Amino acid sequence: MSQIKLGSHVGMAGKEMFLASAKEAASYGANVFMLYTGAPQNTRRKEIEELNIDAGWEYAHAHGIDEIVVHAPYIINLANTVKPETFELAVEFLEKEIIRTAAMRSRILVLHPGSHVNAGVEAGTEQIIKGLNTVLNQNEDEVYIALETMAGKGSEIGRSFEEIKAIYEGVDKKDRLRVCFDTCHVNDAGYDLVGHYDEVFAEFDRVIGLDQIAVFHVNDSMNLLGAHKDRHANIGKGTIGYDTLHKVVHDERFLSVPKILETPWLCEEGSTKKTIPPYKEEIAWLLE
């Protein structure tokens, strides 16, 4: 049986940059991890040469970590038809992020498909396709864009498997697309993983194909099934619960697929500041 790939989202900062990320992941007992190449809410990025990539990988390999996932920043909105400059920024920035992802020796770049900003799902989807074609048709890096399943809050696109499939259908280089399956988002979008686990994955297989799942985000949800919100809960503290998330982590069909925790940090007793990462305990618990 191949080893389960389980880790969490980690930071990348200070002088050590990527080395700090690898150290943080190793401290949690992770064998895979996910990061942003810079702040998710702005376009400021350090030069690739400053990311300390070689030292980070040396440490990672020594601690049993051979794979990482990169998450694209939230500011990329390929679905925007309302403001041309937002779309242009998204295309330009996604191009840079693919280059950075390849430089960091990751093959998976997770991307929120985008929000149509009240222009409608169809217009937004066409714009996403246009943006992805612009980027992928001129980029040869061996990086997959993993479209994330979304909870469906506001005007998000990707709230159903069909909406993600529609993006696939318009993209020229379909072989460069994959899916990031977020358990909290799928629950909040109305797919009943708890009551109908097998049926949800059978439906995903029928619409897109299980072989297209390149990464899982393993999160419990604060919300009821179909709430169309997006609030992650700690493992076992939400409406999905430990048993279903444990089932995802141990599902033999997905053993080689990285699974990333994005659960909330915890507060020290008597404090409201979230200062304690939960990942070491949650990883160990899910591996039981």
Summarize the annotated binding site for Zn(2+) as residue ranges.
Answer: 71, 112, 148, 182, 185, 217, 230, 232, 262
DSSP class of 31:
S
Which string of b and e fits 30-64 if b means at least 16 CB within 10 Å?
bbbbbbbbbeeeeeebeeeeebbbeebbebbeeee
Q: Tell me the residue type at 261.
A: L
With 0-12 / 13-18 / 19 or more C-beta atoms within 10 angstroms meaning exposed / middle / buried, residue 211 is exposed
DSSP class of 259:
E
Contact 144, 108 (CB under 8 A): yes
> Among residues 157, 160, 147, 148, which one has the least CA distance to residue 126?
157
Q: How many residues does the chain have?
A: 288
Distance of alpha carbon 192 from alpha carbon 252, whole angstroms:
20
Distance of alpha carbon 274 from alpha carbon 163, whole angstroms:
35
- Annotated binding residues, as ranges? 71, 112, 148, 182, 185, 217, 230, 232, 262
